[in-house]
Amino acid sequence: MLFLRSALFNLTFYVSSAIICIAVTPAFILPRGVIVFCMRAWSRWTMWLLRVIAGTRYEVRGLENLPKEPALIASKHQSMWDTIIYAAILNDPAIVLKKELLYIPYYGWYSIKAQMVPVDRTSGASALRNLILHAKNALAQNRHLVIFPEGTRAAPGSHNPYKPGVAGLYSQLGIACVPVALNSGLYWPRRKFLRRPGTIVLEFLPPIPPGMNRKAFMAELEGRIEPATDKLLAEAGFSG
């Protein structure tokens, strides 16, 4: 049954996503807000499919920790789910993504139209300057900035080194940083076919105020995200 439900979800998700991408093509000539609306609708559609077909729900905790003014949201990254959910639960977030993703047909085009924040990890010091420039433009539009500090997905129970880009944004932008813990990798595992039933929990943790030095900030950020993530994994019955 798990295999069949996973197969049905994957088929429905990828086919419907392709249809939606093509159907929304005329929106490229319309204002950016139209694309943002369509991306939110697609994200919520995906969450609905996941719940109805795979039996995977989600719960968001700690919304009271999310400032009303734009903030830097530093999220744990375990699953493709993480890249979808923020468009569904936040109002027009600016998501930091690898520049290579912009070359993917439709996905990249929509990301450009929605003014997501690309980072070119091969261009050295200029990468941070461009990242800061795009980030400031997003903040000027009153948008939360979402970044995955690890840069890539980590399996439940493990983590990748935190990249310096998050510290660069934090120090240059002078805004609060909201750490995020989650356990999505238990239900939508990276590079796996199965979609497991249960409840994904995403938790916004208390914000880190601006003004810390880089080294202290990085230690504080990792020291908040990783234990909180381990706690969510243990709550879901994960034992390593």
Average pLDDT in the chain: 94
- Residue 128's pLDDT is what? 79
- Residue 126's pLDDT is what? 76
The string of pLDDT tens digits covering residues 131-147 is: 899 999 999 999 999 99
The string of pLDDT tens digits covering residues 9-19 is: 999 999 999 99
Which domains are assigned to the chain?
A: 2-235 (3.40.1130)
Q: Is 154 exposed, middle or buried (0-12, 13-18, 19+ CB in 10 A)?
A: buried
Instruction: Give me the amino acid identity at 94.
Output: A
Percent of the chain with pLDDT over 90: 84
The length of the chain, given as a count of residues: 240
Q: Is 150 exposed, middle or buried (0-12, 13-18, 19+ CB in 10 A)?
A: buried
- Residue 123's pLDDT is what? 66
Percent of the chain with pLDDT over 70: 99
Angle between helices 125-140 and 165-173 (to 10 degrees): 50
Instruction: Give me the amino acid identity at 236.
Output: A
The string of pLDDT tens digits covering residues 176-217 is: 999 999 999 999 999 899 999 999 999 999 999 999 999 999
The string of pLDDT tens digits covering residues 170-185 is: 999 999 999 999 999 9
DSSP classification of residue 209:
P
Q: pTM value?
A: 0.94
The pLDDT of 69-82, averaged and rounded, is: 97
The string of pLDDT tens digits covering residues 15-31 is: 999 999 999 999 889 99
Query: Do residues 148 and 160 touch, judged by C-beta distance below 8 A?
Result: no
